[in-house]
Amino acid sequence: MKVIISGAGPVGLTTALALAREGIAVTVLERAAELATDLRASTWHPPTLDMMGELGLVDEILRDGLIARTFQVRDRQTGAIAEFDMGLLKGETDHPYRVQYEQFRFTQLVASRLAAFPHATLVFNAKVASVSQDPQHIRVTTEDGTVHEADWLIGSDGAYSSVRSALGIEFPGLTFPERFFVVSTPFPFEDHLNRLSYVNYVADIDEWCVLLKVPGLWRCLFPTSEESDEEVLASGERRLQGVFPKAEPYETRHKTLYRVHQRVAETYRKGRGFLAGDAAHLNNPIGGMGMNGGLHDGLNLAGKLIELNRTGADRLAEYEPERRPVAVEHINATTARNREVLAERDPVARKRKQDELCRTAEDPVAAKAYLMKSSMINTLRRAA
């Protein structure tokens, strides 16, 4: 069996590694000249860590990441804190915690592992331009005119997927009105803000935010209205002073401004071509489900290709019904609800939501049920 994967993001590379470990020939085509180094995903959920354990990657993730045993939903005005204890998931997962570990470190780790397999190739400067297929094969032509042929193609080439376009698959959904602005600082917020976890969702009438710790940095995410790019990028100091006021200016490291979409591809498969990860679904980052969900797609699909290669049993038709509803009913619904909780402007409704979350967090049975959903364990069990 030979598989082509378009895109060397976390989903493409991890899917490639899973296939290569089983002796399947795999070629990853990456548009860029090197792996991306920008700050994107950082939150790893328990079942994703379990999967990384099976791939022999989890020791490095735990060594280089930060273990978050709790996460919080806070209210900036009232100071109320709903703190969820991930330890309640003991017995459901080998990793009853979240890990804060940056996506760019992960892709470098996976690419280094992939390099050990002679039947796995990672080609840079190889932008997929067109796709054609017949009942036996699928062919990909890159921008420089090179043609690659394989049994299967996986489009994990991100939000603007060329594979999705080439296969003629629509990507309906919406774009959120606000843009998201991430600014990072080495300032130790944990020494100054009461009981801060490594993952904190902070509700506020004027400016909600998400505070995430990664090794050496706090990443602070804010919504922005339609200001110019320059105005938003210059607002980092004001926004950080809003999180914790201090006399000296903040030292900042990275600033990222981006649009957020909520979209799901109308189908995840056309013939011998599949979609996985951001190419198949996009959501807002509140809850940390984009990359995690994408990895769950890629490894589900890899499992079916491995089974087909080993035994001849073709369960590829089950990929879409197992994974697409997760994006629609769980990932998009949950991340949209998370955004609503943080952005609620009506003080009565906000207090009601926060009180409800505090009651849930304090009741071990209700908290565990909440964590089974927010950790994406339920969706994987349902598909299984």
Binding-residue total with ligand FAD (CB under 6 A): 35
CB 13 within 8 A of CB 28: yes
Closest CB to ligand FAD among residues 31, 330: 31
Closest CB to ligand FAD among residues 171, 350: 171
Of 82, 66, 101, whose CA–CA distance to 190 is shortest?
A: 66
> How far apart are CB 320 and ligand FAD at their closest, in Å?
16
| Residue the block writes with tokens 């399947």 | 24
> How far apart are CB 183 and ligand FAD at their closest, in Å?
11
If one asks whether residue 258 binds ligand FAD (CB under 6 A), the answer comes out as yes
If one asks whether residue 255 binds ligand FAD (CB under 6 A), the answer comes out as no
List binders of ligand FAD among 147-206 (CB under 6 A): 156-158, 162, 182
| Residue the block writes with tokens 């997927």 | 161
If one asks whether residue 43 binds ligand FAD (CB under 6 A), the answer comes out as yes
> How far apart are CB 306 and ligand FAD at their closest, in Å?
20
Residue 326 structure tokens? 């997760």
If one asks whether residue 96 binds ligand FAD (CB under 6 A), the answer comes out as no
| Amino acid, single-letter form, for residue 335 | T
Residue from 29, 196, 217, 341 touching ligand FAD (CB under 6 A): that is 29
The three state secondary structure string of 98-129 is EEECCHHHHHHHHHHHHCCCCCEEEECCCCEE
Cα–Cα distance, 80 to 72 (Å, whole number)? 10
Q: Is 208 helix (H, G, I), strand (E, B) or coil?
A: coil
Residue 68's φ and ψ, nearest 5 degrees, are: -105, 105
Closest CB to ligand FAD among residues 296, 304: 296
List binders of ligand FAD among 124-153 (CB under 6 A): 127-128
If one asks whether residue 47 binds ligand FAD (CB under 6 A), the answer comes out as no
> How far apart are CB 61 and ligand FAD at their closest, in Å?
13
If one asks whether residue 5 binds ligand FAD (CB under 6 A), the answer comes out as no
Q: Using alpha carbons, list the distances in angstroms from residue 28 to 3, 8, 121, 166, 227.
A: 9, 6, 6, 17, 39
Residue from 109, 289, 299, 331 touching ligand FAD (CB under 6 A): that is 289
Q: Using alpha carbons, list the distances in angstroms from residue 20 to 29, 94, 110, 220, 353.
A: 15, 25, 12, 37, 46
Residue from 75, 102, 204, 278 touching ligand FAD (CB under 6 A): that is 278
Residue from 3, 4, 5, 6 touching ligand FAD (CB under 6 A): that is 6
Cα–Cα distance, 25 to 16 (Å, whole number)? 9
Residue from 18, 41, 61, 183 touching ligand FAD (CB under 6 A): that is 41
List binders of ligand FAD among 321-360 (CB under 6 A): none
Of 48, 177, 17, 190, whose CA–CA distance to 113 is shortest?
A: 17
Residue from 89, 291, 361, 376 touching ligand FAD (CB under 6 A): that is 291
> How far apart are CB 200 and ligand FAD at their closest, in Å?
13
Cα–Cα distance, 69 to 84 (Å, whole number)? 9
CB 319 within 8 A of CB 268: yes
User: Interface residues with ligand FAD (CB under 6 A)?
Assistant: 6-12, 29-32, 36, 40-43, 103, 127-128, 156-158, 162, 182, 256, 258, 277-278, 285, 288-292, 294
